[in-house]
A and B are shown apart, each in its own frame.
Chain A
Amino acid sequence: MSGLPQIIVSGILTGGIYGLLAMGLSLQYGVARVLNIAHGEFVMLGALLTYTLYTGWGINPLVVAAIIGPLLFGLGFLLQITLFRGLKARAPVPAAFEGNALLAAFGVLYIISYIGLIRWGGVPRTAYYLNYVVEFAGMSFRLNRIVAFAVSIAIGVAIYLFLTRSRLGRAIRATAEDPATAGLMGVNTNILLALCFGLGALLAGIAGSLTAMMTAVASGIGFGNTVIALIVVVLGGLGSVPGSFIAGIIIGIVASLVASLWQPILVVPVYYGILLVLLLARPTGLLGKK
């Protein structure tokens, strides 16, 4: 039986990846208004591509993450430019677009998850990397989890700085706030939305690569990851980068506590309990606006 500090720190480490996952979804929904329920499928794609490139070609998973990120960015960019932009052009009202986009994302979910199943089959694959135990202050962790956490936080900080400090980041926030006015101010909203969607896919892909380093992955992991990302986004508030990470870490700690002190099968029900209370008490999330 491991001690309480160990369980909590372990939850924080997991939470970093949850934050990364949620940040991607938050960008896609917060700016492009697409509730991308295929988000987890991008995680699956990232994870299994990492498996293939690492075990098949011997490329270092951290390098693989740097390859997969841009690859999935391209995929997300194309999806927004073709599918979602087309839907937006045809939708009579914004609410109709959100509904249709959700349903289209469904189709994408099916396409990616079954391509994954056809290519990799349903069996779990392992591509452990840096899988040795490190002792720290009386607690022991596997190194890959610490590295994954560090990478997640680094990317989170980078995205935060990008959104708050750069010109492009300001344009993105302006578009999230009011697309029409941002368009009038000379922002090319079409490209910008595609950029955000691509960025979301990139973050999901990297989260997948990091997941593949430390756990077994299979073509069916997408759905569970989407559920986690959605809950973290609701908890953290849409469009808030720090909110995503704080909520990710909270959910990570809760998951870790429930799984080790109670029953692993009850993790999802507990997530729902949290979501339920949250929707009743504070529907805009911890750090959300409005």
Chain B
Amino acid sequence: MDITRFISTHRKLLLVGLPLLIILVFLTTIPLYGGVYWIRLLTVILMYVVLAASWAMFSGSTGYMSLAPAAFFGTGMYTMALLQDYLPFPVIIVVGGLVSFILALLVGLITLRLRGMYFAIFTFGLVVFMSEVTSYAEGVILKSRGQHIIPIDNATIFYAMLIITVVTLLAIYFIRRSRLGLSMLSIGGNEDAAEHMGIDTTRTKVLTFAISAIFMGAAGVITAPRLIYINADIAFSLTYSFMPILMSIFGGMGQFYGPIVGAIVFGYLEKTLRAQFSTYFMLGFGIIMVMVILFLPNGIAGLVSMLQDKIAKLRKGDEAEQHANT
């Protein structure tokens, strides 16, 4: 087998696949030599990768702004809290995803029939609604404030999050390339036109919204034992809604890797800076958000493809010059 020929024919695959493989090997082996700090940091980053990527999959392509990731994330956490004594951890992860899926399906069926901002309005308050109902139900039925989660060791949590991240990213990658993904994009471009082309817009919206909630719910289940204690305020904290949105915008929603880049950058910043400069960090978060939307509407990914275009143009210019000279 001729190696140089193999490399030249599969150049693109190698260019993307090899780094991915290296990253994956690095991530799967890190609990063997990395300290607790690194494992926990990477778990948080992976959690944000799941949230940001699944948010961007739906809202980024359809243009319907969901402000509800925290509702599904928190649902996952409470699924863990309520089922931890009865079912094994991996099963609860699946159940948490399914419960979030059903919740999102209901929300979607009610609001996604409507155009425009009703969806944003409804999801905006859904988080508060879930939080208040949960703490009321806790007080009345369970007669407690908050739930204790049996701790699970860091490495297990990390691997569970890694598996969910890989599953999420693979699913999103294939959805983006499927009929469903293209339907979402055309809804984002022009919903009327999409409908005239024969796309069942309501079905597409509701289904993809609910699919994105599966991953958020699963991430919530895995995050619960990391926190050990949860209550309605912690589980349905609006940060879990807002952070993924900022990350996706910062990274750029047009490209598959955009939200991932955003999640890595802000996940790292949050874990390292927020503890020390809590309020100023969040203030800076707001300022960055406004600046990015105003000046970098396509995020880092948009910047990268713009630079690529420029470089390509320069190269073309050089080639043309060389042709002229010869």
Q: Is B21 an interface residue (CB 8 A)?
A: no
User: Which listed segment binds A: B97-105, B155-163, B177-185, B279-287?
Assistant: B279-287
Within 8 A of A (CB), among B63-84: 63, 65, 67
Q: Are B289 and A107 in contact (CB under 8 A)?
A: yes
Q: Are B289 and A103 in contact (CB under 8 A)?
A: yes
Chain A residue at smallest Cβ distance from B140:
A263
Q: Are B110 and A102 in contact (CB under 8 A)?
A: no
Interface residues on B, range: 35 or more
Q: Which of A86, A226, A227, A269 contacts B133 (CB 8 A)?
A: A269
Q: Is B31 an interface residue (CB 8 A)?
A: no
Q: Is B135 an interface residue (CB 8 A)?
A: yes
Chain A residues with CB below 8 A from B27, complex form: none
Chain A residues with CB below 8 A from B132, complex form: 265-266, 268-269
Q: Are B294 and A29 in contact (CB under 8 A)?
A: no
Q: Which of B128, B129, B245 contacts A103 (CB 8 A)?
A: B245
Chain A residues with CB below 8 A from B120, complex form: 35, 102
Q: Are B280 and A118 in contact (CB under 8 A)?
A: yes
Q: Is the interface of A mostly helix, strand, loop or mixed?
A: helix
Q: Is B122 an interface residue (CB 8 A)?
A: yes
Number of residues from A at the complex interface, CB < 8 A: 46
Q: Are B129 and A269 in contact (CB under 8 A)?
A: yes
User: Which listed segment binds A: B111-119, B203-211, B254-262?
Assistant: B111-119
Chain B residues with CB below 8 A from A280, complex form: 110
Give A260 to B133 CA distance when docked, in angstroms: 18
Q: Is A250 an interface residue (CB 8 A)?
A: no
Chain A residue at smallest Cβ distance from B295:
A86
Give A35 to B135 CA distance when docked, in angstroms: 29
User: Given A90-B297, A98-B117, A111-B283, are A275 and B125 neighbors across the interface (CB < 8 Å)?
Assistant: yes
Q: Which of A104, A279, A283 contacts B293 (CB 8 A)?
A: A104
User: Given A93-B190, A104-B294, are A114 and B125 neighbors across the interface (CB < 8 Å)?
Assistant: no
Within 8 A of B (CB), among A99-113: 99-100, 102-104, 106-112
A-contacting residues of B (Cβ < 8 Å)?
Answer: 63, 65, 67, 110-111, 114, 116-118, 120-122, 124-126, 128-129, 132-133, 135-136, 139, 190-191, 238, 242, 245-246, 249, 279-280, 282-283, 285-290, 293-294, 297
What are 7 residue pairs bridging A and B, where the CB atoms are less than 8 Å apart in the complex? A37-B124, A99-B65, A100-B293, A103-B249, A107-B293, A111-B287, A268-B132
What 10 additional pairs, Cβ within 8 angstroms, besides A108-B286, A268-B128, A280-B110? A95-B63, A99-B65, A102-B117, A107-B289, A110-B282, A111-B286, A112-B286, A223-B238, A230-B125, A268-B132
